[in-house]
Structure formats: C-alpha cells, structure tokens
C-alpha cells in the first residue's frame, strides 16, 4: 500500500468514526427528547435544546472532512459511494437533531407533561421514531442491507401511525359532546406539532437506511419502489 492509499484509508476511517459519533449524539437527542416528552421533564428537554448546537458543529466538521477527502484523494467505487453517502447522511442527521430539539421545545413551552389524551395519541410514533432511528444507524454501522431494505419498505406503517395520531388529536381539539377547554386545545395543537416532528424523524431515518444500502450495494433507492 503506497502513501496515497494509506492516507485515503486513514481519512475514510476518520470520516466513518466521526459519522458514527454524530449518529450517537443524535440518537441521544432523540431518546432524551422522547423521555422529556413522556415525563414532562424540563431539565432533559433543556439539555436537548442546548445540545443542538454541537450537532450542527459535527455536521460542519464532517462536511469539511468529506469534501477534503474528495479533493485530495479522489476515491472510487465503494470508497466514493461511502463519501457521497456520508455527505447526504449528515444532512439527515442534523435535521433529525433539529426535530428532537423541536420536540424538547414543546415540552418547555408546555412547562410540563402533556394531557394523557395527547400522550396516548403520540405514543406509537414516539416508539417508532426511536426504533426507526436505531435500526437505520445499525444498518449503516453493520452494512446490513436486508435490514436497511426492510426499513425503506416501512413507510406505509409510519403514515398510518401519523394519520391515526392526528385523527385522535383533531377529535380531541374539536370535541364531542364535551367541548375541550382552551388548555386542552392548546395542548392538542402542540401534540399535532410533536407528531409531525416524530414522523419527520422516521422519514429521515429511512433516508439513512437508503444511504446504508447505497454504500453496500451501489443502488440508490431514492424515489424508487424498494
């Protein structure tokens, strides 16, 4: 292995390591935001919001490293796919971090836990957001193409969970025989925004699974029937 090949492998290793570190940081943000939501824990919510800046810095750092690697080493084949996928992936990771911060901000605005009706409606999406993200990162870490492909086919389930949650929340907002008071309507509106953020996390996690599949197989699943 000559000097240029050694430098390429070192930079690829560094890029993979930093991407996995960002994956871990974003995963913590998602888990902590969901925990803060379930518990109405203001301290956990505040920590997620404060930590978003460091996730943004990681994105910039990885972007610079990947672009430098392309310019200096001109990788080909799977190495090139990995660098291209890393550039795409960090955008999705940063946006997932933004959605986690948005959920945490809702907890802070509400200054505590949401009503049980709102939490019950949101619960399936809370579980899915965490599980989908973990699955996507694992696909990337291990190169498990079967797992990645399965996740890319999971869109209908997430859509149905969102529709069910929003239907429940809108029913709460509109009320039946017992009209909701202003506090319930206010909490319901926050619940709708939280469900939208949770759905976006699931969608971005599916993008990460697509990137993992692209690295391993060289096939871009975007805008294709998986």
Render pLDDT for 141-167 as a digit per residue (tens, 0 to 9).
999 999 999 998 888 899 999 999 998
Domain span at 136:
3-217
54 domain residue, yes or no: yes
226 domain residue, yes or no: no
172 pLDDT above the threshold of 80: no
Name the band, by pLDDT with cuts 50, 70 and 90, for residue 215: very high
Rg of the chain taking only CA atoms, in angstroms? 20
Per-residue pLDDT of 24-72, as tens digits, reads 999 999 999 999 999 999 999 999 999 999 999 999 999 999 999 998 8
182: CATH: 1.20.58.220
Q: Which of 50, 24, 40, 49 is nearest to 104 (CA)?
A: 49
Q: For a pLDDT cut of 90, what percent of the chain falls above it?
A: 71
pTM of the entire structure? 0.91
Task: Average the pLDDT over 89-99 and give the result.
Answer: 98
Note the helical H segments in the chain. Answer: 3-39, 42-73, 77-110, 116-142, 145-152, 155-174, 182-217
121 domain residue, yes or no: yes
By three-state DSSP, how is residue 219 classified? coil
166 domain residue, yes or no: yes
222 domain residue, yes or no: no
171 domain residue, yes or no: yes
pLDDT for position 8 = 87
pLDDT for position 73 = 84
224 domain residue, yes or no: no
Q: Which two tokens stand for residue 18?
A: 């930093």
pLDDT for position 226 = 47
pLDDT mean across residues, the chain: 90
Q: Which of 123, 101, 106 is nearest to 189 (CA)?
A: 106
43 domain residue, yes or no: yes
Per-residue pLDDT of 104-153, as tens digits, reads 999 999 988 888 888 999 999 999 999 999 999 999 999 999 999 999 88
pLDDT for position 112 = 80
pLDDT for position 176 = 53
Q: Are 157 and 120 in contact (CB under 8 A)?
A: no
Q: How many domains does the chain have?
A: 1
């Amino acid at each position: 292995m000559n000097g240029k090949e050694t430098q390429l492998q070192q930079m690829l290793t560094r890029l993979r390591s930093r991407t996995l570190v960002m994956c871990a940081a974003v995963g913590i943000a998602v888990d902590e935001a969901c925990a803060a939501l379930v518990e109405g824990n203001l301290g956990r919510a505040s920590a997620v919001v404060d930590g978003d800046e460091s996730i943004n810095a990681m994105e910039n750092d990885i972007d610079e490293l990947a672009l430098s690697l392309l310019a200096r080493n001109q990788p080909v084949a799977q190495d090139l796919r990995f660098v291209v996928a890393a550039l795409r992936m960090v955008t999705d990771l940063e946006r997932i971090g933004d959605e986690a911060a948005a959920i945490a901000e809702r907890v802070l605005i509400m200054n505590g836990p949401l009503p049980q009706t709102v939490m019950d409606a949101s619960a399936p999406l809370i579980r899915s957001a965490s599980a989908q993200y973990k699955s996507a990162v694992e696909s990337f870490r291990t190169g498990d193409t079967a797992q990645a492909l399965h996740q890319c086919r999971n869109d209908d389930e997430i859509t149905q969970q969102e529709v069910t949650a929003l239907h429940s929340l809108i029913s709460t907002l509109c009320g039946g025989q017992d009209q909701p008071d202003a506090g319930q309507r206010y909490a319901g509106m926050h619940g709708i925004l939280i469900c939208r953020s949770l759905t976006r996390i699931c969608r971005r996690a599916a993008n990460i699974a697509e990137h993992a599949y692209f690295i391993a197989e060289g096939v871009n699943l975007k805008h294709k029937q998986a």
